[in-house]
């Protein structure tokens, strides 16, 4: 990276700051030297702050571009599978056929859960949210695998990655089965990743269409740069916390409706609309600034163009709806009508409020009979590899230091009791 300088003048003092040029994206002004001048920056929501250097994922929101180590997400979704993308995120290169086979074998070898981990579910009521259960199961894994090896070596870091990637579907399916009062189904090492998960969920094999759609959902959610949950994983990991507790932080952050819960919120919105005849009424409510109603699953904080993941998910969504004959389902009729309006209405087009990946993934998962409360769990399942890839990258960074954001204090000045 070549470097230039920016100059900031404060109280007649000129401060020179380094401008770092990335391989892709906007230039970054390094503001860390400001502390020497008794200055901080103020950036609510970190919308203009780069807190780390990363090689894993790049997003160009203006162009609607998402790259993993340079590979466009739509090409990965079309020509690769989730295991290949996992290998890419962990190693920086797509695998050869031999490397992929070895990687899949390693994942399959770590799918089983220790019995005490599964017993953790007995502390929950069946109706408890599956994300709460997933958090507990993930945390309990640290008691079995945290002390294995030296986490400062890349080999041992990858071993932990294999455990997390392999066990997440087993835990997710067990959470669902527990909600039904049913026992967990053991993983089958002979099945591919998506089929194995579906089999553990429903005790039946998915169709080829559903298998491919599931695999694409996992690919599209594998990583998304420095989002809230990934940043949380990095912040926790910066303290020296291990991978399991760091990933627990990611799961907790993902649970929020503004992040991983967006696809769940989309289905709730469709149910709120209720009838295809009422769509126009809700469209007008969404356009009214004084109305609290919001259309969920449209637009994106990062993308100011069409979400590239949505274009891929849209295809799988329509394939699953067609196979399951769900087009006649009132909920999906509402969704398809909303989609058509958003792609043609000037209000949406001018504001770039296109259907996003959450809109299509929620509809697709629902058409697979996966319950709404499991949607965020599905997101966590796919995102696990991204979280652990970022945790590993941070551990091996020469610039690693504990995260410690500053604040703009606006409370009372000093007040003495006497």
State pTM to two decimals.
0.90
- Indicate whether 251 and 273 sit together in one domain: no
Is residue 150's pLDDT more than 80?
no
358 carries an active-site annotation: yes
pLDDT, residue 195, reads: 98
For the chain, the domain total comes to 3
* Cross-strand bridge partners of residue 66: 59
* Any domain includes 336: yes
Q: How many CB atoms lie within 10 A of CB 162?
A: 19
What does the pLDDT average to over 151-175?
Answer: 93
* Any domain includes 417: no
- Quote the percentage of the chain above a pLDDT of 70: 97
CA-angle at 300, arms to 299 and 304, nearest 5°: 85
- Indicate whether 108 and 212 sit together in one domain: yes
pLDDT in tens, 267-279: 888 889 988 889 9
- Indicate whether 77 and 210 sit together in one domain: yes
* Any domain includes 410: no
Distinct helix (H) and strand (E) counts, the chain: 17, 6
- Indicate whether 132 and 196 sit together in one domain: yes
Is residue 361's pLDDT more than 50?
yes
41 or 99, which is more confident?
Answer: 99
pLDDT, residue 329, reads: 75
What does the pLDDT average to over 220-235?
Answer: 95
37 carries an active-site annotation: no
- Indicate whether 25 and 164 sit together in one domain: no
* Any domain includes 57: no
Q: Among the listed ranges 123-127, 171-175, 313-317, 324-328, which one has the minimum average pLDDT value?
A: 324-328
Spot the catalytic one: 178, 300, 307, 390: 300
* Cross-strand bridge partners of residue 71: 68
Which pair of tokens denotes residue 327? Answer: 């087009």
Is residue 1's pLDDT more than 70?
no
Total residues belonging to the chain: 418
pLDDT in tens, 94-144: 999 999 999 999 999 999 999 999 999 999 999 999 999 999 999 999 888
- Indicate whether 196 and 303 sit together in one domain: no
Is residue 300's pLDDT more than 80?
no
Give SS3 for 154: helix
- Indicate whether 89 and 160 sit together in one domain: yes
Query: Which structural domain range is residue 29 located in?
Result: 3-50
pLDDT, residue 147, reads: 61
- Indicate whether 173 and 217 sit together in one domain: yes
- Write down the mean pLDDT value for the chain: 91
Closest CA to 22 of 89, 93, 62, 70: 70
Residue with tokens 């000129």: 14
Closest CA to 105 of 173, 186, 165, 169: 165
* Any domain includes 401: no
* CATH number of the domain enclosing 278: 1.10.230.10
Is residue 2's pLDDT more than 70?
no
* Any domain includes 290: yes
Spot the catalytic one: 68, 215, 358, 390: 358
pLDDT, residue 148, reads: 58
* CATH number of the domain enclosing 156: 1.10.580.10
- Indicate whether 110 and 227 sit together in one domain: yes
pLDDT, residue 111, reads: 97
Confidence of residue 149 (pLDDT cuts 50, 70, 90): low
Sign of CA dihedral 154, 156, 158, 160: negative
pLDDT, residue 381, reads: 97
- Indicate whether 252 and 267 sit together in one domain: no
pLDDT in tens, 45-81: 888 889 899 999 999 988 889 999 999 999 999 999 9
Residue with tokens 């997390």: 164
pLDDT, residue 57, reads: 97
* CATH number of the domain enclosing 41: 2.20.28.60
Q: Are 194 and 206 in contact (CB under 8 A)?
A: yes
- Indicate whether 314 and 237 sit together in one domain: no
* Any domain includes 414: no
Is residue 413's pLDDT more than 80?
yes
Q: Among the listed ranges 289-298, 311-320, 328-337, which one has the minimum average pLDDT value?
A: 328-337
Q: Which of 367, 385, 411 is the last residue of a domain?
A: 367
Q: Which residues contact residue 378 at a Cβ distance below 8 angstroms, ignoring those fewer than 6 apart? A: 172, 217, 221, 361, 365, 370
- Indicate whether 287 and 250 sit together in one domain: no
Q: Among the listed ranges 32-41, 180-189, 242-251, 382-391, which one has the minimum average pLDDT value?
A: 32-41
* Any domain includes 199: yes
């Amino acid at each position: 990276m070549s470097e230039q300088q920016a100059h900031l003048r404060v109280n007649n003092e000129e401060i020179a700051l380094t401008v770092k040029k990335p391989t892709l994206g906007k230039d970054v002004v390094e503001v860390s030297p400001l502390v020497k001048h008794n200055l901080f920056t103020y950036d609510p929501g970190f919308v203009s702050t780069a807190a780390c250097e990363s090689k894993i994922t790049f997003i160009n929101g203006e162009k609607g571009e998402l790259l993993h180590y340079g590979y466009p997400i739509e090409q990965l979704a079309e020509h690769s599978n989730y295991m290949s993308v996992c290998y890419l995120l962990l190693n920086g290169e797509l695998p050869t056929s031999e490397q992929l086979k070895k990687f899949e074998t390693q994942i399959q070898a770590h799918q089983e859960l220790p019995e005490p981990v599964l017993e953790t579910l007995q502390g929950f009521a069946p109706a408890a949210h599956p994300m709460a259960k997933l958090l507990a199961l993930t945390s309990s894994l640290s008691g079995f695998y945290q002390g294995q090896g030296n986490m400062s070596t890349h080999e041992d870091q990858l071993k932990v990655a294999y455990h997390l990637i392999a066990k997440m579907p087993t835990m997710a399916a067990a959470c669902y089965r527990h909600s039904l009062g049913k026992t967990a189904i053991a993983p089958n090492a002979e099945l591919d990743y998506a089929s194995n998960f579906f089999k553990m969920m429903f005790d039946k094999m998915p169709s080829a269409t559903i298998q491919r759609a599931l695999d694409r959902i996992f690919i599209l959610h594998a990583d998304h740069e420095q989002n809230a949950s990934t940043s949380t994983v990095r912040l926790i990991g910066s303290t020296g916390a291990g991978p399991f507790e760091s990933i627990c932080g990611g799961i907790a952050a993902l649970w929020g409706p503004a992040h991983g819960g967006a696809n769940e919120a989309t289905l709730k919105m469709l149910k709120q609309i209720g009838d295809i005849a009422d769509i126009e009424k809700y469209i007008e409510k969404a356009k009214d600034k004084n109305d609290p109603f919001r259309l969920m699953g449209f637009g994106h904080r990062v993308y100011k163009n069409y979400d590239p993941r949505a274009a891929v998910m849209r295809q799988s969504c329509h394939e699953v709806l067609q196979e399951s004959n769900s087009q006649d389902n009132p909920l999906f009729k509402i969704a398809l009508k909303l989609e058509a309006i958003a792609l043609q209405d000037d209000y949406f087009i001018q504001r770039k409020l296109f259907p996003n990946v959450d809109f299509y993934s929620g509809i697709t998962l629902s058409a697979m009979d996966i319950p709404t409360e499991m949607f965020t769990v599905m997101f966590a399942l796919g995102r696990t590899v991204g979280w652990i890839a970022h945790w590993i990258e941070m551990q091996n960074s020469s610039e690693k230091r504990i995260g410690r954001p500053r604040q703009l204090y606006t409370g009372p000045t000093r007040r003495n009791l006497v």
